Chains A and B, each alone.
Chain A
Amino acid sequence: MSQAAIQNLDRVFAALSDPTRRAILARLAKGEATVNQLVEPFGFTQPTISKHLKVLESAGLVARGRAAQFRPVRLNALPLAGAAEWLGNYEQFWAESFDRLDTYVNGLQRKEKRHESKRRGR
């Protein structure tokens, strides 16, 4: 992973560390929204929501137009794929190991059953 990618990952995780920002992302996952539409459900002031949106934007998680109040905010989930990959590291290690184990024990099993005709497709 490149230095730039790591730095961006830092921004993604920093952005995701706040419950309000996660809620905003969850809301945007259902569809784009204007800042005003985001203000209502969260009970924060517009400047507060805007501040959170700036953090999400700098992490590349949302995109919006210049006239921020009226242009809808859209989710950009691409950086989340990197974050999910990063988070799933230990599980990924074992998922790949267990794939290999699966293949390997099937090989062991075939050796044991060499007298039987091999099963179709296995």
Chain B
Amino acid sequence: MKASAVADEPASEREVTITRVFDAPARLLFEAYSKPEHIMRWFGPKGWPVTLCEMDFRVGGKFRFAMTGPSGRQNTPFGGTYQEIVPGRKIVYDNGFETKGAGRMLVTVTFDEFEPGKTRLTMHTLFDSIAMRNSHMSRGFEQGTNSGLDQLGDLAAELAARGA
């Protein structure tokens, strides 16, 4: 299924890249992504366990997760389809909440074991639109201040860190 991307918005403004280096082989990180019994042990922030975890880990297979927050209520499920799987190296899937009108994102996870037992995991997310990216980055922050947002985030973090 084709994502309803806003065609004239450049990809560079709809994407987010998150990188982390792990003291673990790529093989194990890939493994941790590939089975529900693993996913349920690590996916999501603390206090938000995955309480629904259906996955058919193969190209064309679907996954469907939901998390339960501190209130005890299960949140809206989200999920998508695995689009590319290169064992130990790469997983591509689309994802989105099961909410009417919710946008989709295309997520590419790469595992680069740059030295034995050390792996750089890169998670690249391409959102349908700049607005969707920003609303995910800021959860509910209204559109309209898009342009300054990155700069603003940097400024806010810098100033807050200074504790002025």
Contacts and interface: CB of A to CB of B under 8 A. Distances in A.
Interface string B35-62: 0001001111110000000000000000
A22 to B, nearest CB: 6
A75 B18 CA distance: 31
B156 A84 contact: yes
A90 B137 contact: yes
Interface stretch (A33-41, A49-57, A64-72, A94-102): A94-102
Q: Chain A interface mostly helix, strand, loop or mixed?
A: helix
Interface in B123-164: 123, 125, 136-139, 141-142, 144-145, 148-149, 151-153, 155-160, 162-164
Contacts of A97: 42-45
B121 interface: yes
A87 B141 contact: yes
A91 interface: yes
Interface stretch (B5-13, B23-31, B80-88): B23-31
Given A19-B148, A29-B164, A89-B138, A96 B153 contact: no
A122 B16 CA distance: 31
A83 B42 CA distance: 27
Contacts of A75: 159, 164
A64 to B, nearest CB: 15
Contacts, number: 123
Contact of B160 (A22, A26, A80, A101): A80
Interface residues of B, number: 43
Interface in A10-41: 13, 16-17, 19, 22, 25-26, 28-29
Contact of B32 (A22, A76, A88, A105): A105
B152 A105 contact: no
A105 B25 CA distance: 9
A90 B44 CA distance: 11
Interface of A: 13, 16-17, 19, 22, 25-26, 28-29, 75-77, 80-81, 83-84, 86-98, 100-106, 108-109, 112
18 contacts: A13-B145, A16-B145, A19-B148, A22-B151, A22-B152, A28-B164, A75-B159, A77-B159, A83-B160, A86-B141, A87-B137, A88-B137, A95-B18, A98-B18, A98-B20, A102-B24, A108-B24, A108-B38
Given A105-B28, A109-B28, 20 more contacts: A13-B142, A17-B152, A22-B148, A26-B155, A84-B153, A86-B139, A88-B153, A89-B137, A90-B125, A90-B136, A91-B16, A96-B45, A98-B18, A100-B42, A101-B42, A102-B24, A104-B41, A105-B32, A108-B32, A112-B28
Interface of B: 16, 18, 20, 22-25, 28-29, 31-32, 38, 41-46, 121, 123, 125, 136-139, 141-142, 144-145, 148-149, 151-153, 155-160, 162-164
